Chains A and B, each alone.
Chain A
Amino acid sequence: MRITVTVDGTTYTDEVEPRQLLVHHLRDTIGKTGTVVGCDTSNCGSCTVHLDGQSVKSCSVLAVQVDGAEITTVEGLARDGVLHPVQQAFHDNHALQCGFCTPGMIMQSIDLLADDPDPDEHAVRHGLEGNLCRCTGYQNIVRAVQDAASKLKPGATHLVGGE
């Protein structure tokens, strides 16, 4: 099947197998290897991207389902070399170690902040429940999300969602 999808601002038209998962389309066809695969049961959230502004696990979406859609991956967040506030907050708060879960964590955190711009610790932990990290014990991730929230408050120039 032929699909057209806009990824990080660039439009791609490709033939895809009906069974092709979005994450494999992103990685293997389009070359967006910043988005990674960590499991095969949609538990880990490493492959989280934004589909028309909402976070999805791209292992649980078929490529054919995103025909005509707009996708943002971790590679499309920075603007003119300036990190998205959530990316910056992950760096500033040492919220990553090996960094494998980080793209998914960042994409989910942005979505979480779009729904709840000022989450308490409990809300952050529940908002990230579908994303697993094996390195950090989550504490600095929680801190990073709250730090980003404070920097994204009204007056901040960066749009939540990155779209």
Chain B
Amino acid sequence: MTATAEPEVGKARLRKEDARLVTGRTRWTDNLTVPGLLHLAFLRSPVAHARITSIDVEAARRKPGVVAVFTGADIADAQGSLPCAWPVTADQKAPQAPSLAVDQVNFAGEAVAVVVARGKAQAHDALEAIDVDYDELPVVLDLTAAVADDSPLVHPDLGTNSSAHWVFDSAEAGTGGDVEQAIAEAEVLVERTYRQQRLIPAFMEPRSVLVDPTGEQTTVWSATQIPHILRLMLALTTGTPEHKLRVIAPDVGGGFGGKLQVTPEEVVALVVATRLGKPVKWTESRSESLLSAHHGRDQVQKLTLAARRDGTVTGLKVELLADMGAYLRLVSPGVPILGAFMFNAIYKFPAYRFACTNVFTTKTPTDAYRGAGRPEATYAIERLMDELAAELGRDPIELREQNWIKHDEFPFTTVCGLEYDTGNYEAATARAKEMFGYDELRAEQRERRERGDSVQLGIGTSTFTEMCGLAPSRVLGSLSYGAGGWEHAAIRMLPSGKVEVVTGSSAHGQGHETAWSQIVADQLGVPFEDVEVLHGDTQSSPRGLDTYGSRSLTVGAMAVLKAGEKVIRKARRIAAHMMECAEDDLEFAAGKFTVKGTERATALTDVALAVFAAHDLPDGVEPSLDSEATFDPENFSFPHGTHLCAVDVDTETGFVKIRKYVCVDDVGVVVNPIIVEGQVHGGLAQGLAQALYEEAVHDESGTLTTGTLADYLIPSAVDLPHFDTDRTETPATSNQLGVKGVGEAGTIASTPAVVNAVVDAVRHFGVNDIQMPCTPMRVWTAINGGPTDAGGLGSEAGGGLGSIDTSGGAA
């Protein structure tokens, strides 16, 4: 009765999640309220670097509706220091990170006081009555200048702006040769400096937190990706006993790494609610979000690629400056380090060295943003491969193929010591070229170039891989990360035959409720509709490490599968007892235990009912099929793919239009193709946005000039092309499901494909780099002989969509 006719895994199931989302029956944190709720508003520093000489809040306390006002000094004893869970080196320098600044502010937007009022508008009105005196200090904005000896210091007590220096060297590690020797012996050297501009995750749902301290447990609702990590970190940071905290992530409207954080506002909300004994809520404005929620990327990449004249790569040296901003947030220092193992990408470099200096500046702290370290690495190597091809007069795809790991060479141990389990770069590339019409477009490009067309065609390639499925706990340990990389799940067999799946993964748009249901329906042989997935509440899903790093399917769903195996194992013994046979005589398929060679069968759901009654169980067997499992992966997973982009560049205006975008991704086995395709589309959009539109810009005083969505250019439907996507499939061997993860792939792959295309379109003008985002102003300047690379032309708010002035606005 419960058998499913065809496998659920692989089926294009429409999402369970949609019903509430398309009708507005949503549970965003800001929708929630409790009796007696008070509202918070934060006063933020308008200056980037200053001593706070005085704060007068008396007038604010007297404003209508105001219940209390707190400064950093008022809660200094309770707020602790915001956690950084990833000290990348033993001697890493880390400043104290108060949630409310106490005596010094280190970036514009840092919170200095909080108003608690009966109404949200009343709380905001009272902010104006707070009087703060700042004694301004010199700002530290430029990464290269920040590490110079004469630079002013962000945190004078640390004695330096350099937080940590982290090195991987293949000769020292014994995984490869000496890169300096490779450089010395190189027949061709490609030396470039690339700028990874600062980006803002810009999830659509502004962050929000509601803390209710009136129960036995204090309940924290938060728009977070990480309810489990948040619970532990709030406990450790504020000294609240962990078992007295419950954290709930209700519907969460996107994250992209931006909600992988323990925020100052969460800590302050907990401290203030606890102190007042009353529930409080804070919801940010978009401007607050852009200004103070963590940013991403922001690196200067100094790169040296060594090769032979025949095109064989012989060495790669990477020297990074990575902007931490003013503080180290949850995993800030580790983000660039996640890229350390990816610069070599799919290529057989015999020698490699990576050195990264994490640098403090007086800007908004940086942390994870979709891809986190891997887009930066992929950009660098895929740009370099195009540059090497240009240097040697070779086709960029052919040159890549000469150097990449062939499909019959897997598993392959890279120069970083990672073992890539499976892949087939030839297959993905062949399919992509066919879909793209590569040869035809190259012919058209030649024709238009010869004709001197004012609109030039450019073709860009990115043959990427990435490491995801974070992560094997022992590897995280070797990188000094403060936690493991496992995930937890439980399966509860209800007496009526329905199934509850508890997962430590915490979806915020990914469709886990649907995908996990498909996996469990297949495994236990129950209908898709009979599976309910519970997540995002530390009370119902008590253990977990949450959702980021494309880890949920490869790690989280694997834990679900392991829990299901235990359910079947427990049920087998009881089924054997029910049918009076030996356990070994039973086979389990399609939800039924069948006595081999007979028609005698008992459904798993019947066993569940028998267990509930518990009238006749084997001796010593507990009356429960419920099972839990914790899965720790043995390796990362390595999705890969080939992305091809064709752009039309108007050489008279510098305007870039994406004409065609083709990608063929290999993400291993696919559980739900429509969800996978959706993840690819969204990833591409963010990667393209880095290439063409988005940049967080601080002016010379350290003020963010891209503080609204009119200035920070999230692309609209008009700004993005139609994507032609397809897949090849080489199952991962690192997990039973054969899955590789897809959340970040599109973002990691696409940025260099676009920039390679833009540079390719105008290379004959003598251009070999254009700094991102490739705004019309920058492209036009490059064509006309101006500076284009890192340290070149300045940034401008709102420039990505066609304006050539600094006041913003789209063309």
Contacts and interface: CB of A to CB of B under 8 A. Distances in A.
- Chain B binds chain A: yes
Interface of A: 17, 19, 27, 32-41, 43-44, 46, 73-75, 77-78, 83, 87, 90-92, 94, 96-103, 106, 121, 124-126, 128-142
Contacts of A121: 722
A99 B18 contact: yes
Contacts of A129: 716-718
A94 B24 contact: no
B204 A83 contact: no
B118 interface: no
Contacts of A141: 717
Given A91-B18, A124-B717, A98 B681 contact: no
25 contacts: A32-B24, A34-B25, A36-B205, A36-B253, A37-B30, A41-B287, A44-B204, A83-B22, A91-B22, A94-B677, A94-B678, A97-B511, A97-B682, A98-B254, A99-B22, A100-B204, A103-B24, A129-B716, A134-B204, A134-B714, A135-B509, A137-B682, A137-B685, A140-B681, A142-B722
A34 B26 contact: yes
Contacts of B675: 94
A102 B685 CA distance: 17
A44 B715 CA distance: 11
A39 B286 contact: yes
B15 interface: yes
Contacts of A140: 677-678, 681
Interface string B30-70: 11000000000000000000000000000000000000000
Given A96-B18, A100-B254, A134-B256, 16 more contacts: A19-B121, A27-B31, A33-B26, A34-B26, A40-B285, A40-B708, A43-B710, A44-B709, A94-B678, A97-B510, A97-B682, A100-B253, A128-B716, A129-B717, A135-B204, A135-B682
Contact of A96 (B21, B256, B508, B684): B21
B28 interface: yes
Contacts of A94: 14-15, 674-675, 677-678
B667 interface: no
Interface in B564-598: none
A132 B25 contact: no
A133 B682 CA distance: 9
A76 B576 CA distance: 54
Nearest to A73: B24
Nearest to A126: B718
A132 B285 CA distance: 16
Interface in B703-750: 708-710, 714, 716-718, 720, 722-723
B15 A74 contact: no
Interface pairs A-B: 4 shortest CB-CB: A34-B24, A99-B21, A98-B509, A100-B253
B323 interface: no
B29 to A, nearest CB: 11
B23 interface: yes
B286 A138 contact: no
Interface string B618-656: 000000000000000000000000000000000000000
Nearest to A98: B509
Contacts of B286: 38-41, 44
Given A78-B23, A125-B717, A128-B716, A97 B678 contact: yes
Contacts of B716: 125, 128-132, 138
Given A33-B31, A98-B253, A134 B203 contact: yes
A151 B147 CA distance: 61
Given A40-B285, A43-B708, A137-B684, A102 B206 contact: no
B169 interface: no
The range of chain B's interface size is: 35 or more
Interface string B194-206: 0000000011111
B25 A100 contact: no
B746 to A, nearest CB: 8
A32 B722 CA distance: 34
B252 interface: yes
Given A33-B31, A128-B717, A132-B716, A87 B287 contact: no
Contacts of B22: 74, 83, 87, 90-91, 96, 99, 102, 106
In this complex, the member of B26, B31, B252, B683 whose beta carbon has the largest number of chain A beta carbons within 10 angstroms is B26
Contacts of A125: 716-718
Interface in B646-675: 674-675
Given A38-B205, A137-B681, A98 B709 contact: no
B25 A90 contact: no
Given A41-B286, A94-B674, A98-B205, A135 B254 contact: yes
A92 B14 contact: yes
Contacts of B409: none
Interface in B256-285: 256, 285
A132 to B, nearest CB: 5
A107 B709 CA distance: 21
B678 A98 contact: no
Contacts of A73: 24
Nearest to A35: B24
Contacts of A32: 24
Given A43-B708, A137-B685, A141-B717, A34 B204 contact: no
B24 A134 contact: no
A38 B204 contact: yes
A99 B17 contact: yes
B709 A134 contact: no
Contacts of A34: 23-26
Contacts of A132: 204, 709, 714, 716
B251 interface: yes
Contacts of B24: 32-35, 73-75, 103
B23 A134 contact: no
A46 B26 CA distance: 14
B510 A142 contact: no
A99 B710 contact: no
A10 to B, nearest CB: 15
Nearest to B28: A36
The winner among A19, A91, A97 for most chain B CB atoms within 10 A is A97
Contacts of A97: 254, 509-511, 678-679, 682
> Could you say which of A36, A83, A139 has the most chain B C-beta atoms within 10 Å of its C-beta?
A139
A79 to B, nearest CB: 12
Nearest to B680: A137
Interface in B279-301: 285-287
Interface in B154-213: 202-206
A139 B254 contact: no
A78 B24 CA distance: 11
B711 to A, nearest CB: 9
Contacts of B685: 134, 136-138
A75 B254 CA distance: 21
Interface in B89-107: none
Contacts of A43: 708-710
A142 B720 CA distance: 11
Contacts of A142: 717, 722
A106 B204 CA distance: 16
B508 A98 contact: yes
A102 B18 CA distance: 10
Nearest to A33: B31
Interface in B479-528: 508-511
A36 B204 CA distance: 10
Contacts of A92: 14
A35 to B, nearest CB: 7
A87 B28 CA distance: 19
B13 to A, nearest CB: 10
A77 B20 CA distance: 13
Contacts of B686: 134
Contacts of B722: 121, 139, 142
Contacts of A139: 681, 720, 722-723
Interface string B111-124: 00000000001000
